[in-house]
Amino acid sequence: MKIAIIEDEIGITNFLKQGLEEEQFTVLIANDGKTGWELIQQSKPDLILLDWTLPKISGIEVCRKVRENGIQTPILFLTARDTVQDTIEGLKAGANDYIKKPFSFDELLARINVYFRKDIVPESVTLGPILMHLLKHEVHVLERKVTLTQREFELLYFLIKNKGKACSRTQIIEEVWNIHFEYDTGVIDVFMNSIRKKLNLPKDQELIKTIRGIGYIAND
């Protein structure tokens, strides 16, 4: 996960960089608004920490540019200006949240984690007679153990996790394969065929259905 810090106070950028890298984030830094805006366009961060008062282009102008260009990346303002009016201005410009300086690192991290909230992985999930032990990385159909490859396992888990919801091919490619560009989604069918074969459920118990032209849906 990439976080861009656009802030002209070196002390703050260093402090944030060190703390965020310890939390396994990739940190990108710009020390003025103009460089910051270029950085956002080039590096496509997953979250932007944006100072309000910046040289060259102000934080609020950067924020407006980001939104005017259709970039939806969450923006968290770092601001010493704490009047209600300024806050409203920042949120109107498209910021998602703001944090008042001075702030503690833990406080900032808690705000950041709202945007990177990881799915809390349960110990196991089920779909009809299928039981997936996520911790043990095992799949059982009733008493029979089924051996899936890593990708098959992830695909099956994704569909079960989204039980009752149609999952589009694009969504599956993005979430399971982590591919975010145009890609031949036919690969999904190959994996699905293999999963179905291995699960070997009776035809009338086909719990994962193909939705023609869309993708797949799992239903108990």
Q: Which residues bind Ca ion (CB under 5 A)?
A: 8, 51, 53
* Between 77 and 216, CB nearer to Ca ion: 77
* Between 53 and 171, CB nearer to Ca ion: 53
Q: How far is the CB of 40 from Ca ion (least distance, A)?
A: 17
**Of 108, 114, 4, 109, residue with least CA distance to 62:** 4
- CB-based contacts of 42: which residues, under 8 Å, 6+ apart? none
* Between 53 and 185, CB nearer to Ca ion: 53
* Side-chain-facing half-sphere of 86: CA atoms under 13 Å: 15
Q: What number of helices (H) and strands (E) belong to the chain?
A: 8, 12
Task: Give the type of residue at 192.
Answer: M
Helix (H) / strand (E) element for 77: namely strand 75-79
Q: How far is the CB of 197 from Ca ion (least distance, A)?
A: 60
For CA atoms 195, 200, 203, 204, give the dihedral sign. Answer: negative
Alpha-carbon distance 15 to 101, whole Å?
Answer: 13
Place of tokens 């996790």: 161
* Between 51 and 152, CB nearer to Ca ion: 51
* Between 64 and 198, CB nearer to Ca ion: 64
Contact 133, 112 (CB under 8 A): no
* Between 65 and 161, CB nearer to Ca ion: 65
Q: How far is the CB of 53 from Ca ion (least distance, A)?
A: 4
61-to-33, 67, 71, 183, 204 alpha-carbon distances in Å: 8, 10, 14, 36, 59
